[in-house]
Structure 1
């Protein structure tokens, strides 16, 4: 299975900062200095060509003056995509460092399109950058008070000897991660709890 783990700021709704007083935390230097990150709308549905979609953003590193790039050829099964601009059919797992300082899974996009370079939405949301796109119907955001369950723990080397390092993406290609991935995919497929993406939330003010 094509699978990609992305780490972003911790938020409750991911539908904007000011609209819901949903202040991001544990998001790194940019978020700390500016009070927001481009991932703040990762679970804010938007209509694109008559289809409800989610546009996700994860920060990628620039390398020796080159533009920020997500190396899609490092995703399992995508080794042949070295010259492609995007790849489809990826299970994207969104993670965040919680107030407990544990890295937890907050939600996921199934059957997502993952872009190599940042994309920009050319309409009223022209400030919005993204590098992952999926249909709303394929996306889940776990309720904030249920993200600390151990089944949603995201791996880090300190506790699992694999997982997120300094980069905000993890390609999960280590063989020793296979058992973890198998259990996680089963938990995702069995998920029947509340999905915040489908809840109407009244903005503050």
Structure 2
């Protein structure tokens, strides 16, 4: 239960806005005006588009923290520097984390960023891995650095997404330029408690407002 959430391992990750995250479909496409970074806006696709599709009863997604160019001129994805933010880690992975997924439906209207779901007992990886599987006979191949059991993954139904997450530029704490927020500011302590209370309320609502893979 989320009562056991370790606040020191609670992180927020910015993703693109979708209804179901079970692949791109006619009733669940990526809006070019939604947040989530330049890639989904330009290509109308994103790794998180399939984060609610499970393989071997697990779900997989990515916290994308940017790119860099190596000494050979190759573009690489930046790794998660777990040791900079967590004590209970060897730097290669962090277990028993809670990942809160955050999205903005329409950035052109400067709408707030809302919690769209969360994963409990998740594992964060320093290095990306790749998984390949089939969903309804469709091949899925994706890089990931976060995974958890499907039973620990929760998605808030679209019409009930109303829990706003702060931005640094507006509130003095919250998301900055990075797609991952570790909520380490002094003001963030109360917000983490507020987030956990919100999760508990949703889970106590007999899943009327949330779904699972």
Q: Report TM bin, short chain.
A: 0.7 to 0.9
Q: Distance in 1 between matches of 2:38 and 2:48?
A: 14
- Normalising by structure 2, report the TM-score: 0.79
What secondary structure is seen at the aligned counterpart in 2 of 1:175? coil
Q: Distance in 2 between matches of 1:71 and 1:157?
A: 21
* TM-superposed deviation, 1:67: 4.0
In structure 2, stretches of 5+ residues that fail to align are 1-6, 71-75
Do the aligned residues in 2 keep the contact of 1:13 with 1:22 (CA within 8 Å)?
Answer: no
Mapped pair 1:11 → 2:41: no
* TM-superposed deviation, 1:20: 4.4
Q: Distance in 2 between matches of 1:74 and 1:41?
A: 29
Aligned equivalent of 2:73: none
What secondary structure is seen at the aligned counterpart in 2 of 1:158? helix
Q: Determine which structure has the larger strand proportion and give its number.
A: 2
* TM-superposed deviation, 1:126: 5.4
What secondary structure is seen at the aligned counterpart in 2 of 1:121? strand
Aligned equivalent of 1:108: 118
Q: Distance in 2 between matches of 1:118 and 1:67?
A: 9
**Paired residue for 2:67, among 62, 67, 74?**
62
CA 1:183/1:34 → structure 2, altered by over 3 Å: closer, same or farther?
same
Do the aligned residues in 1 keep the contact of 2:30 with 2:45 (CA within 8 Å)?
Answer: yes
What secondary structure is seen at the aligned counterpart in 1 of 2:183? coil
In structure 1, stretches of 5+ residues that fail to align are 199-205
List structure 1 runs of 4+ shifted beyond 6 angstroms: none
Mapped pair 1:143 → 2:157: yes
* TM-superposed deviation, 1:128: 1.4
Mapped pair 1:34 → 2:43: yes
Corresponding pairs, count: 188
Single out whichever of 130-139 and 65-74 deviates more from structure 2. 65-74
Q: Distance in 2 between matches of 1:38 and 1:47?
A: 15
What secondary structure is seen at the aligned counterpart in 1 of 2:169? helix
Q: CA RMSD in A?
A: 2.0
Do the aligned residues in 2 keep the contact of 1:8 with 1:95 (CA within 8 Å)?
Answer: yes
Mapped pair 1:195 → 2:206: no
Mapped pair 1:175 → 2:186: yes
Do the aligned residues in 1 keep the contact of 2:169 with 2:176 (CA within 8 Å)?
Answer: no
